[in-house]
Amino acid sequence: MAVTVRIPTPLQEFTQQQDAVEIAGADVKEVLANLDSQFAGIGQRLYDEEGKLRRFVNIYVNQEDIRFLQGEGTAVSDGDEVSIVPAIAGGL
Amino acid sequence: MSKTGRDLLDAARGDVPEITAEEVKHTVDSGAEVALIDVREPDEFRGGYLPGAEHVSRGFLELKIEQVVPDRTTPIVAYCAGGVRSLLAGQVLQSMGYQNVKSMAGGYGKWKDLGFPVQVDKQMSAEQLNRYSRHFLLSQIGEKGQAKLLDAKVVLIGAGGLGSPTGLYLTAMGVGNIGIVDLDVVDMSNLQRQIVHTNDRVGTSKVESAAATLTALNPDVNVIAHEERLNRDNALDILKDYDVIVNGADNFPTRYLVNDAAVFLGKPIVDASIFKFEGQATVYHPAVGGPCYRCLYPEPPPPGMVPSCQDAGVLGALCGTMGSIQATETAKLIVGFGEPLIGKLLMYDALKSQFRTLKIRRDPACPVCGDSPSITELIDYEFFCGLTEAPAGAAANGH
C-alpha cells in the first residue's frame, strides 16, 4: 500500500528537495511514521514533544482535512494523496 | 423581393405577443419568474431602467443572451424605449428557441409615464465609460457591477509583495476607496517584487509611495493612508469602515490579529501567503458560514519553526500570481459573480506550474468563530505567537 505524500516547501530540506515522495502505510499515522524513518527529522516538525500533531500543520487525505475525517486513524489506500499543509506567513 | 422596415415590423408584431406595462408590473410584483431584458442602447439604459432588468443591447442580443438567460424555457419580457425594437428583438429570441417571449407595449416610456419605479445607476463620466469598457462587455460585471466597484471600500494590510499587485489591479479595476496599512519605508531589496514602488522612492514611506502610484494609475480611486502598524489598539477602528480586508501581512501575529478583528467585525478577508516558489490563497468569511484563519491553523508555529521570506527568499513574480488572485477574489466578493474561494485553499506551486485546491471547513470548536468562542476581544498577538515572554498588560498601549 503506497500513497504519495506532498511535501510543502518549508519541509523539502528533509526530503532532498523532493516535493512528493511515495510512502507505504495503511493509515495516516503509519504513513507519517514511515515518512519520518525514511527522512529523519521531518517527524519533529510535524509532531510536538507529546507526540501530537502540531496545530499549525494540517494533514489532508486527497482534498479533505483529516481533522474532519478520522484524524491520524484515517485509512489510506493505494494512489491516495496525503498533503502536509503548514501555515506560511509571507506577504511582504 | 426586398422588404421595408414596415414589413419587418408587421411580421414581428404577428410573431411576438405583447404585454402591457401594468401586466409586467403585476408579474414582477407577484414574484413570478421572468427575465426582463432591456434591449436599448447603453446610453438609454444609463438614464434609467426597470428594477431587476438585465441590459442586453439589441446589437449584442444574439451574442450575449445565452449568458444572461441560459434556459430557453425562462419567460422573457423584452422592452425598449417605445415597444418597437423589443418586437424585433423578440423575434430574434424566438428564432433562437426561447419559448416564452413577450414584448412590453409602449416600452420604458410607458412604464415611466405610469409612475412605476425605475432604477438609475451611478452616472459615469465619458472617461469612465471608456476606461471600464472592457468590464462592461462582461455580463457578470457590466455597468451595475462597475458601480459597485467604484463604491467599494477595500483595505490592504501591507503595501509589499502581495499588496503591490493587488493594489495595482484593484486600482485599475476602479475599486473606489483603497486603504493601505503599512509603517515601513521602501528598501532597495523590496523592488524585486513590490511593483507598486519605484527606484527613486527608496527610503520613502511605502504608504506614500503606493498612494502616488495608484493615484497616477486611476484618478477615480481615493487612497486612504494608514501609516501605522496594525495592533490590538487600532485594528478594529481602522478595519471597521471597509467592506473587504485584503491580507498580505508577512508575520503570524498580524495574521491572527487581522483574523480576529475581521471575525468580530463580520468582514471577509481575502488572504494569501507566499514562500519561495509556493503560494496559498483563500477567503475567510465566517459571517456567511465559511471558516476563519484559526479554523485552519488554531495555533501559530513557535518562532523559528517556519522560516520567513526574508530568510528563505521568494520569487518576485509569485507575488503577482497570488496578488492577482486576491484582486480577483475581492472583485468577486464586491460585485457578486462566480464562486468565491470561501472554504477552499488554493495552492500554487510555481516550480511544477500546478494549482491544487483543498477543502477547508469551519471548526465548531474554533476559539473565535466557533459555537462557543473563548476569545471575544483582541489579545496580545506577539505573546500568543511566542515572540514576547509575557503578555502586555491592559495598560500597555502604544509600545
Contacts of B158 in chain A (CB under 8 A): 91-92
Put simply, the answer to whether A92 touches B360 (Cβ < 8 Å) is no
For residue B350, give the chain A residue with the closest CA.
A9
Report the distance separating Cα A42 and Cα A53, nearest Å.
Answer: 12
Strand B344-349 to B354-359 pairing: antiparallel
Nearest-Cα residue of chain B relative to residue A42: B305
Provide the percentage of residues in chain B whose pLDDT is more than 70: 96
Judge whether B157 and B326 are in contact, CB under 8 Å: no
User: In angstroms, what CA-CA distances link A61 with A82, B63, B132, B348?
Assistant: 5, 43, 43, 18
**Coil, strand or helix: which one is A24?**
strand
Predicted structure pTM score: 0.83
Spell out the per-residue pLDDT of chain B, length 399, in tens.
Answer: 799 999 999 999 999 999 999 999 999 999 999 999 999 998 899 889 999 999 999 999 999 999 999 999 999 999 999 999 999 999 999 999 999 999 999 999 999 999 999 998 888 899 999 999 999 989 899 988 999 999 999 999 999 999 999 999 999 999 999 999 999 999 999 999 999 999 999 999 999 999 999 999 999 999 999 999 999 999 999 999 999 999 999 888 999 999 999 999 999 999 999 989 999 999 999 999 999 999 999 888 887 776 666 678 899 999 999 999 999 999 999 999 999 999 999 999 999 999 999 999 999 999 999 999 999 999 989 888 877 776 654 433 333
Maximum pairwise Cα distance, chain B: 93
* Whole-Å CA distances, B273 to B112, B329, B352: 51, 14, 18
Question: Hey, of B166, B191, B229, B306, which one would you mutate to test binding to chain A, going by the most A CBs within 10 A of its CB?
Answer: B306
Span B375-393, pLDDT tens digits: 999 998 988 887 777 665 4
Q: Which residues of B touch A56 (CB under 8 A)?
A: 297-301, 305-306
C-alpha cell recorded at residue B187: 528598501
Q: Which residue of B has its CA nearest to A62?
A: B358
